[in-house]
Structure 1
Amino acid sequence: MKTHYYRATFTLLIFLISFNVQAQKKSLMEEEKTYLKKFIYPLKSVEPGYPETSDLNVFDKLIGDSKIVALGEVSHGSSEIYKMKDRLVRYLVPNKNFSIFSLEASMPESYMMNEYTMSGKGDPKAFLDEMGFWTWQTEEMLSIINWIKKYNETSSHQVQFTGFDMLFTNGATEEIKKICTANNFSQNDAAQISEIFAQSNGKSKKTDITGSQKETLNTLLENLKVSSQKIKDEKERNWFLQNLRIIEQNIDKSAMKRDLYMAQNIEWIISQNPDFRMIISAHNGHINSYKGKMGEYLKRDLKNDYVTFGFAFYSGNYTAFDRKSKTTGPFPAQTAYEGTAEYLLNSLDIPIFILDLKSLKKENNEAARWITRDEIKFRRAGSTVVPEEFQKTNIAADFDYLIFIKESTHSRLLIK
């Protein structure tokens, strides 16, 4: 019995060691590089104003007739990633009839920006500030916004600027008050909601609602839902109810539920725009198909109408918040090292490219097992500085395509 036990244990140990070595692939052989390049589309530039767009024609094939293209980001603070998104917006809107740009930012505050992009009303920097998070208060985001505004000035094909997050409640309560006034409703319920959130630090992402306050809020929200029945304009009524829903989501939000609620908010935007084609801009960690993430819910409901492009870079720096120094600014990124996906992709010596993970996964060739089936270390940086940026990820399971950029520089914060 002991002999069988030791043999089984030894076999399992050898398997685990070989699996670990395989998962931590350190380099690509020439034949592996040759095979991988069959699924690569080089891109000429990340610059939004790059005069030639022939390299972007491949998006016609990759996207097809899909209704939503989700553009990720491995960091909220990479200038090159946002420039690439800007370049893609400028291509997809006029060439593929995309009509909505939707950002991982608070929903009501983002819709305020729509006033600027549609009619030129207001100050875009002020609207970005209202969104409450430094990640969007950058020159790169302002460039996307100003291009959409300029496009809307001369085109009959209008592009909406929207958002789908629920981290803040100020914008929602202000919209509710505004609609109450327009319809001669009492503002008492909305004012009480504002007061409760003000007491509970409602201006920050962290909202500490007591059980008693939650009961009061639910009562006030139900009162306002009853009042909504008197709003004659259907579009205004739907927007009123959606702002109530943003508050409900904020009260109930958590790390997992946030992704569910963002997916629900995107589906609300879709319900209001039946002839839509939408570009989503959010972190890789939200657009992906991992269980419980926003992308999983959208993929489940929209199937082939939802296409994802993850982003990666090899080295450089990015803008982030440092918890130790309590400052936001440029910080060096970890250069991708042996055993990371970015290290292997960089060895192809192509500075910017799209990797077709969908086709690669379909072929299921052993030469690409490290990215199609195995978990491999892949950069995950958000809005804050972290001690270790690389975590094991099944990249091909998460995204349809991956856009690789060799060098990242920090996004440029707008000066207030």
Structure 2
Amino acid sequence: MQEEYVVSQKEVVAWIKKHAIALCDPQQESVYNSDYRDYKDVRPLQKMVGAARIVTLGESTYGTHTVFLLKQRLLMFLVEEMGFTLLALPVPWSGTCALNDYIYSGLGDPEEMMVNMGDWHWMTGEMLDLIYWLRNYNERCRPEQKVSFCGLDCLPYIQAAIDNVLLYASDIDTQWSEQLSACYQQFGSYDADLTGYRQLSPQEREHCRQQLQQVYDDFVRQRTRLIAASTRDRYLEAFQNVRVLIQAEELAVSQDFARREYFIAENASWLLEHYRPKAKMVIWGHNASIALQAPSPRPASRQPEYLTFTSASDGVSSKGNSASGDLSYWSQEATAGSYLLERYPNDLLTIGFSFYQGSFLALDEQQPDLLNHYNADNVPNDSIEAVFGMTEMASVLLDLRGPDAHEEAAHWFTEPHLSRCVRKSYHEELYWQPQYLLRCFDLYVFAHTSTEAELLPDVTQWVVQLPAQPYNLDFAHELDDWHIKGTLKHQVAFEPVSRKRSYTRLHVQSEESDVERYFRLAQEIQASEYRGQRIRLSAYIEVQDINEEVSLWLCIRKSDNKRLLGNSYSIDTQPRAQYSVVMDVPLESISIDLSIALCGTGQLWLDNLRLEIVGSDVPLTPLLS
């Protein structure tokens, strides 16, 4: 009979605090600072990674700033201290080719190239900073230490992959390039309409499939000639485009999520075993994709074939298409991590990431073409995030396989507990999902507070959804329509006031004394109804034991992405009084951000918050630089 363990949350919190390694806060010090890069805090990771050739880095939501910085911190250590030279992401292979060239040569504008990575969550300031760091590293390291930047996915940019193949072919043989172009003509015409491709008859799709296979066979047959006419790397890079086009055709028809996860794992294997056979790889993904949970049981006779190609040095098989195989017996729970685990049982280390409170970005469930802000403060008491949050540690690294894993408190990690899971889109019913932490990850990195990612200003295909007017200024609906920013540990409460004055007071209390951290409650609206007018943001504020400051803010963002800032602040202990900020809204304004901020220790109470248009006789608040 299996022994049962009944462990209290208090015991689990104590166990985590005993065994977790405290990490530096990546928002407090520049990642380029030489002292910060001595890696004292993450040095234990070296022993945890050991001889692993693949390290995967996850995240519970895509649009989070602090988690991204923690992942970058670990990536930098793995590159600079442990010799990892491949960074792979679940983005189209064709979308990273130009960026990889930039990281090696420094030529071009990486911000323009990032649009080819596909989804909104890659087009952020954090990702751009990472690409700049990779370029800087490649510029100063030895040739054998240079890092390659590669995509693992086959969708959505079909035409871009075709263009890469044809560009390579045209440099070698114009007539051959024209033949390949004819083979790709039918499939390429559905680049932006895979639904239309699925509606073709089975005979038409089979003809298209044969055309794709013909290109593959050409590359296999002419391998020696093509490498001699170019280089091994150029040949393999073009050949990978050929492979992912065959994968894309299959997924265009099947729409099988597990199959896509398989292809991500297979492409990672191809990179390691053929493109960079001596490399060690970091895979940057989502918790739900890198998790190690095994697929559902399958017949013993049906073992997965990760690489159907032969052991030829370039990963090419003369036996046919190596980009796909029969995986219909895999369950929908299969992940890229579980496929990699079977292929590399002793060479894989998986690190999950999450955070307790703050905010993040995700596509709106009701309007999937729009981004929205989401607060992350309503955390279930029995969730993984709640228990780690109770440690009150800013950011930690925990080895789930440690020597003390036999202790009773550690058995909590073998049981299912709710955990946050948001991919590109927010879905209320999928936000919290049961997770066996120890089955999914080897290590776990946790941040107490995270803010939302910073979108690049030139991203036009994704628009952050902003209301025309501010809402819930009286906090009658608590934090609805408000967004929490900053990393200061805090408690938020809502206090009803007397019946004669029927309103709710917001109460915020800081839980730490770090004056470099802050708590900010913000709401951003469209500027259209206020352009060309003077506005006033006012509120009644009471403060107690403030060692830094409490401030009321207005921030107006203009079309050139420049910002106008104004604030009114209070320090020490002050009775309830009215504070206000008055600013003119330029005609070229895009949005208005109104917020209340607390820095350092202390408490604040806020009520009667108002945003109104006022006359030109009301004095302006001096702007901040």
Q: TM-score, normalised by structure 2?
A: 0.59
SS at match of 1:311: strand
Q: Could you say which residue in structure 2 is the equivalent of 1:295?
A: 337
CA positional deviation for 1:329: 3.9
- 1:321 and 2:363 equivalent? yes
> Among residues 154, 166, 186, which one is paired with 2:177 in the alignment?
186
Instruction: Give the conservation status (yes or no) of the 8 Å contact 2:161–2:245.
Output: yes
**Post-superposition offset of 1:333:** 2.6
SS of the residue 2:189 aligns to = helix
Task: Select which of 417, 440, 448 maps to 1:376.
Answer: 417
Where do residues 13-412 of structure 1 align in structure 2 (5 Å cutoff)?
28-29=9-10, 31-47=11-27, 48-49=31-32, 51-52=35-36, 53-156=39-142, 157-168=145-156, 169-184=158-173, 185-199=176-190, 201-202=192-193, 208=198, 210=200, 211-228=202-219, 229-230=221-222, 231-233=225-227, 234-253=232-251, 254-271=256-273, 272-290=275-293, 291=295, 292-325=334-367, 326-359=369-402, 363-371=405-413, 373-388=414-429, 389-412=431-454
Residue number in structure 2 paired with 1:11: none
Residue 12 of structure 1 aligns with which residue? Answer: none
Q: Secondary structure at the match of 1:57?
A: coil
What percent of counterpart residues are identical? 25
Change (3 A) 1:377 1:354: same
Distance 1:107 1:130, change over 3 A: same
Task: Give the Cα separation in 1 of the matches to 2:442 and 2:71.
Answer: 16
More divergent stretch after superposition (244-253 vs 205-214): 205-214
Task: Verify the 8 A CA contact 1:311 1:404 in the aligned structure 2.
Answer: yes
2:52–2:349 CA contact under 8 A, matched in 1:
yes
Structure with the greater alpha carbon radius of gyration:
2
CA distance in 2 between partners of 1:60 and 1:225 (Å): 41
Structure 2 distance, partners of 1:219, 1:190, is 14
What whole-Å deviation, never above 9, does each CA across 1:379-413 have from its counterpart, x for those lacking one? 11111112141111111100001101111211111
Q: Give SS of 1:358's match.
A: coil
CA shift in 2, pair 1:320/1:268, >3 Å? same
Equivalent pairs, count: 391
**1:355 is aligned with what amino acid?**
L
Deviations 1:100-141 (A, max 9, x none): 111121112112210000001222112110122111100000
Contact 2:190 2:197 in 1 (8 A): no
8 Å Cα contact 2:166/2:180 also seen in 1: no
In the TM superposition, what whole-angstrom CA distance separates every residue of 1:178-209 from its partner, at most 9, and x where no partner exists? Answer: 1221221132443552543433635x799636
Query: C-alpha offsets along residues 247-275 of structure 1, whole Å, 9 cap, x if unaligned?
Result: 11112222010110000000111022122
- The change in CA–CA distance for 1:197 and 1:213 in structure 2 (over 3 A counts) is farther
Q: Which amino acid aligns with 1:328?
A: L
The CA distance in 1 between the partners of 2:177 and 2:109, in whole Å, is 30
User: Which range moved further: 257-266 or 227-236?
Assistant: 227-236
Name the SS for the 2:44 alignment partner.
helix
Aligned to 2:118, what secondary structure does the other structure show?
coil
Q: Between the two structures, name the one with larger relative contact order (CA 8 Å, sep ≥ 6).
A: 1
State the SS of the aligned residue for 1:252: helix
Deviations 1:147-184 (A, max 9, x none): 00011111112111111111222221111111221221
Tell me: CA distance 1:127–1:393, structure 2 relative to 1, closer, same or farther (3 Å). same
Kindly state the Cα deviation for residue 236 of structure 1 after the two structures are TM-superposed: 3.5
What is the letter of the counterpart of residue 428 of structure 2? P
Which consecutive residues of structure 2, in runs of 5 or more, have no partner in the other structure?
Answer: 296-333, 459-625
CA-CA distance at 1:339 after TM superposition: 1.2
Which structure: greater strand fraction?
2
Deviations 1:305-338 (A, max 9, x none): 1101100111111111113233114322353221
Distance 2:179 2:154 in 1: 23
Aligned-partner residue type, residue 164 of structure 2: E
Classify the secondary structure of the residue corresponding to 1:232: helix
The 8 Å contact of residues 186 and 208 in structure 2, kept in 1 or not, is answered as no
Report the equivalent of 2:532: none
Moved more, 188-197 or 98-107: 188-197
> C-alpha offsets along residues 345-384 of structure 1, whole Å, 9 cap, x if unaligned?
1111212001111126x7333222221x211111111111
Name the amino acid aligned to 1:171: A
Q: Which has the larger displacement, 102-111 or 189-198?
A: 189-198
Shift of 1:65: 1.9
- Paired residues of 1:353 and 1:404 also in contact (CA < 8 A): yes
Amino acid at match of 1:349: E
After alignment, is 236-245 or 315-324 more displaced? Answer: 236-245
SS of alignment partner, residue 111 of structure 2: helix
- The 1:209/1:116 distance shift into structure 2, 3 A limit, reads farther
C-alpha distance in structure 2 between counterparts of 1:252 and 1:364, whole Å: 45
Give the aligned partner of residue 571 of structure 2. Answer: none
Return closer, same or farther for 1:190/1:327 CA change in 2, 3 Å cut-off.
same
Where does structure 1 lack aligned partners over 5 or more consecutive residues?
1-18
SS of the residue 2:452 aligns to: coil
* SS of residue in 2 equivalent to 1:56: coil
Alignment partners' CA distance in 1, 2:136 and 2:104: 9
Question: Residues 141, 317 of structure 1: CA spacing in aligned structure 2 closer, same or farther, 3 A cutoff?
Answer: same
Letter in 2 for 1:273: R
**Residues 188-244 of structure 1, C-alpha deviations (whole Å, 9 max, x = no match):** 443552543433635x79963632342122221222123322343044443333212
Deviation at 1:38, TM superposition (A): 3.2
- The amino acid that maps onto 1:243 is N
1:257-304 CA deviation, whole Å, 9 max, x = no partner?
A: 011000000011102212201111001111111222111111111122
- What is the rounded CA distance, in whole Å, between the counterparts of 1:114 and 1:206 in structure 2? 32
